[in-house]
Amino acid sequence: MGLGDVVRGLLSRGTPVELDPDEMVHVEEVSLGSSQLVVETLKGEGIEAEVVESFNPAIGAQDRAVIRVPRRQHAEATAILDRMR
């Protein structure tokens, strides 16, 4: 559950909130160098994954990447990433 989910829950006033199963959500943050390996591994397992590079203002460069997957595949992607560790 991310910040967006919490805000939607607060604003919904008790009515059920329908979440888009195709919305791309954050699943893991990795080093930029290993991001393509992680994405290709997920894709090999049938997960639609993408990389979003993160800018690190402390060093003035992009050194991290966020891996995002569709909400409907989040649990499966998390299990795959746990096995990779």
The predicted pLDDT at position 2 comes to: 74
27 belongs to a structural domain = yes
CATH code for position 29: 3.30.70.260
- Residue 2 included in any domain: no
pLDDT at 55: 81
pLDDT along the chain (85 residues), means of 10: 75 75 95 95 97 83 92 97 91
Is 25 within the bounds of a domain?
yes
Spatial strand order in the sheet of 24-31: 24-31, 61-70, 50-56
Single out the residue of 76, 74, 79 nearest to residue 21, CA to CA.
74
Q: Compute how many other C-beta atoms are within 10 angstroms of the C-beta atom of residue 45.
A: 14
Number of folded domains that form the chain? 1
* CA–CA gap between residue 7 and residue 5 (Å, rounded): 6
- The pTM is what? 0.77
Residue 38's pLDDT is 96
> Which structural domain, as residue segments, surrounds residue 62?
21-84
Q: What is the pLDDT of residue 63?
A: 87
pLDDT at 71: 96
